[in-house]
Amino acid sequence: SGWDVPEPELGVVLHRGEIVGYTIGNDVSSRDIEGKNPLYLPQAKVYDRCCSIGPCIATDETVEDPHDLEMSLTIERDGEIMYEDSTSTSEMATTCEELVSYLKQHNVLPETLVLLTGTALVPPESFTLTEGDEVTIDIDRIGRLVNETMSV
């Protein structure tokens, strides 16, 4: 793949089909693979180390409203900021509860899972991750997830 980007996302943690908390997800995608054909989307997301989750599971007590959290993405290469942007989960088109209801309609769920809600922060088409890039995702009330890109 020649066009690989991080996709920072709010993660909804489910246990026995019920929301028990929230986390951060970095769902790295090979955009040129998924762009060739919508049927290739799974192949764009299945390589080694393509999804990180963490740094914790924040409960409802900490995340009072998952639809009102600031989220930021910073990508550094050799100490230089290559990309930086922020958004809010208030911009989500579908609520966490709606996403969970759709997931439960036609899927047998494992006992515990993390549902990633989709990304709103994507670097421009001219950007691709390279080995050694440091990707930092911050979400209010949850924390910070930091990944170093390995060979992509």
- Confidence grade of residue 54 (pLDDT, cut at 50, 70, 90): very high
| Structural contact between residues 98 and 60, judged by C-beta atoms closer than 8 angstroms | no
Tokens 């409203």 correspond to what residue?
A: 65
Q: Tell me the pLDDT band of 152, cut-offs 50, 70 and 90.
A: very low
CA angle, residues 4, 75, 127, in degrees to nearest 5: 40
pLDDT in the model for residue 46: 66
Residue 129 one-letter amino acid: L
pLDDT-based confidence at 50, cuts 50/70/90? confident
Model confidence pLDDT, tens digit, residues 14-32: 999 999 999 999 988 888 8
How do residues 101-147 score in pLDDT, each as one tens digit? 999 998 999 999 999 999 889 899 899 999 999 999 999 999 999 99
Entry pTM:
0.92
Separation CA 144–CA 71 (nearest Å) = 10
Between 4-8, 30-34, 92-96, 141-145, the lowest mean confidence (pLDDT) is in: 30-34
CA distances 148 to 97, 110, 141, Å, are: 32, 29, 23
> What residue segments make up the domains of the chain, in order of their start?
4-148
CA distance 114 to 38: 23
In terms of CATH, what superfamily is 4-148? Fumarylacetoacetase-like, C-terminal domain (3.90.850.10)
